[in-house]
Chain A
Amino acid sequence: MMRAVTLAALSALVVLMIGASLLVGYAPLRPGPALAALFGQGDPLTVIVMQDIRLPRACLAAVVGAALGMSGAAMQGLLRNPLAEPGLIGVSGSAALGAVIALQTGLAGAFALALPLTALVFAAGAVALLLLLAGSRGGSLTLILAGIAVSALAGALTSLVLNLSPNPYAAAEVVFWLLGSVADRSMEHVSLAAPLILAGLAVLALTARGLDALTLGEDAAEALGVSMARLRLQVLVGTAAAVGAATAVAGAIGFVGLVVPHLLRPLMRARPGALLAASALGGAAMVLAADLAVRLILPDRDLKLGVVMALIGAPLFLHLIFRTRKELA
């Protein structure tokens, strides 16, 4: 009951946030004409602003948030560790590296899906490395240390590739790939990322039963008929597809996958399976809210989404580490 109410409330919140995201922008448009313009009515310039600028931005923020939130919940469920998060442990950073390499080598122009697929391959590499290092018990220390190493390496290589680019704007681009943004993206970007993200979310949704069973321990889960190898593969593929595609168009946005499952876990009575859907909705609402903050706080300074997310996420991360340390002591 509680879970159903929470899911309904989160859905309503996402709808509300999409509405707010469409109505708040750099140009002051009145809500009435703005909504009419969304359906192609009224002043042609307002129609362009609504349909070609604000709509793709809201859509992208929602799907990217859903991808990050659900991936975070799935990884935390699989590793049984609240610190596993695509941004923190270098999955987003590796995906960004893949995207930058695809763009700078010209591979992205080869065929439509080349950009998100390259990001996906790099994200998969990072997830696989982490599963290997953290092992089945998911020790916090190993996970965090491996995450630091993978993030740092991916960030450094991203900067290197951009520094070597002949394009003088490439250096300024480092900030985008390390912090992320959904500003001024078009429907082309949405159509590039959304199918892969949705496919990734669908794969992750399949893991709900397995993750619930896993709370009893691996042996108990196997006894309940859950194949651990298959579960790991599903989380790996789903996370790589969702985070890879999201990062390919919006850069590496951190902390969403950490904050959202953490906030929603008590409401979901600590059932990782149910937490998946809730985290997808919560992630969408959170990224939409952060993107609204970007536009409301410093409208003319091109504040990056990742900055706002880190301001929310980093203190919480410290709090989690503090609590984990106490539990270990």
Chain B
Amino acid sequence: MRFGAALAIAGAVLGVPAWGAPARVVSLNVCTDQLAHLLAAPGQLISVSALAHDPRSSAYADALADIPANGGGAEEVVLLEPDLILAGTFTTRATVEMLEGLGHEVALFPPVTSLSQVTEHMARMGALLGREDAARNLIAAFEAGLDRTPPLPDGPRTLLYYPMGSTAGRGTLADALMEAAGLTNIAAEMGLSYGTLQLEQAVLAAPDLILTPAPYARPTRATDLPGHPALRAVAPLRRIEAGAAWSCETPALLQAIADLRALAEDAR
């Protein structure tokens, strides 16, 4: 009994997973990569998706650089002999079914669409990895961070304009972040969820501020659109430099909210 308690304490100090927790965790999705990395004991997460190493999509690319990447194929994953596989609900259906069919435990995480879901996912990941204490700490720090930055009063009416004219409105994480920062989202105002906004409609919505992602290295027509002269003539156009912070359920979201507030204040 005492031995067990001592072991548990030693485990907590050294950061080893609890008894019965999966020792070899493989992640196939860029969001589960990051969340598992934040909560896992050293050595518990043995493989992450290739996107985890790309700073454009992963806010923890540097920290994850030491963990080998997998290509997401069932064959490759099986050879890693995982105890637990983490995947997104948009991970290739065939791969997930194949892995489940081979008797592996696969935990699926849907993309987060609200801030309350963020803490739910943190708690769930903690339970899956046997790292409940670490999850409690992460959630407490995240909620304290949210309380420290109240929404801006009277923020600008903002248009999020992605390549190919797509935008994000109601029921999206981007909208939740804008709300937390105090910005009015034009797409939500128009009743759009994920959708596209024609250039003409975007101009006539008379935004105070337009936010677009940072461009990719190789230009395409799709990623050119947010740079159209008509948009530049309507409102200040700002680039979201740290786009990776926006997409996953990690404390990097606090940085995204802080960046949004800074962009909004800068555009006044």
Contacts from A to B (Cβ < 8 Å): 25-27, 45-46, 48-49, 52-54, 103-104, 106, 108, 162, 165-170, 172-173, 176, 184, 186-188, 299-300, 302
Contacts and interface: CB of A to CB of B under 8 A. Distances in A.
Contact of A165 (B164, B198, B218, B221): B218
Contact of A169 (B164, B204, B230): B164
Q: Which of B206, B216, B220, B223 has the most CB of A within 10 A?
A: B220
A45 B204 contact: yes
Contacts of A187: 229
A169 B80 CA distance: 31
B95 interface: no
B199 interface: yes
A103 B200 contact: no
Contacts of B223: 167, 169
Contacts of A169: 163-164, 216, 220, 222-223
Given A53-B230, A184-B228, A186-B228, A27 B200 contact: yes
A167 B203 contact: no
Contact of B220 (A26, A103, A106): A103
Given A165-B220, A167-B217, A173-B221, 14 more contacts: A26-B201, A45-B234, A46-B204, A48-B233, A52-B203, A52-B228, A53-B228, A53-B230, A103-B218, A104-B218, A169-B163, A172-B164, A300-B196, A300-B198
A166 B50 CA distance: 13
A170 B218 CA distance: 8
Which of A46, A167, A300 has most chain B Cβ within 10 Å? A167
Nearest to A249: B221
Nearest to B162: A169
A27 B201 CA distance: 6
B60 to A, nearest CB: 20
Contact of B196 (A104, A186, A302): A302
A184 B165 contact: yes
Instruction: Please classify the interface of chain B as helix (H, G, I), strand (E, B), loop, or mixed, using the class held by over half of its residues.
Output: helix
A167 B198 contact: no
A27 B206 CA distance: 13
Given A25-B200, A48-B203, A48-B234, A188 B222 contact: no
B258 interface: no
Contacts of A168: 216
Interface of A is mostly: helix
A313 to B, nearest CB: 23
Given A184-B228, A186-B229, A170 B203 contact: no
A166 B218 contact: yes
Contact of B229 (A27, A45, A188): A188
Interface string B197-226: 011110110100000000011111111010
Interface residues of B, number: 25
Given A52-B230, A53-B199, A300-B196, A184 B225 contact: yes
Contacts of A188: 229
16 contacts: A26-B198, A45-B204, A48-B203, A48-B230, A52-B228, A53-B203, A166-B218, A167-B219, A169-B222, A172-B220, A173-B220, A173-B221, A173-B222, A176-B221, A184-B228, A186-B228
B229 A167 contact: no
B201 A170 contact: no
B206 to A, nearest CB: 6
A186 B163 CA distance: 16
Nearest to B223: A169
A46 B203 CA distance: 8
A86 B85 CA distance: 52
Contacts of A108: 219
A212 B165 CA distance: 48
Contact of A184 (B199, B204, B216, B220): B199
Contacts of B225: 184
User: What 5 pairs between A and B have smallest CB-CB spacing?
Assistant: A52-B230, A26-B198, A167-B216, A169-B222, A27-B200
A176 B228 CA distance: 17
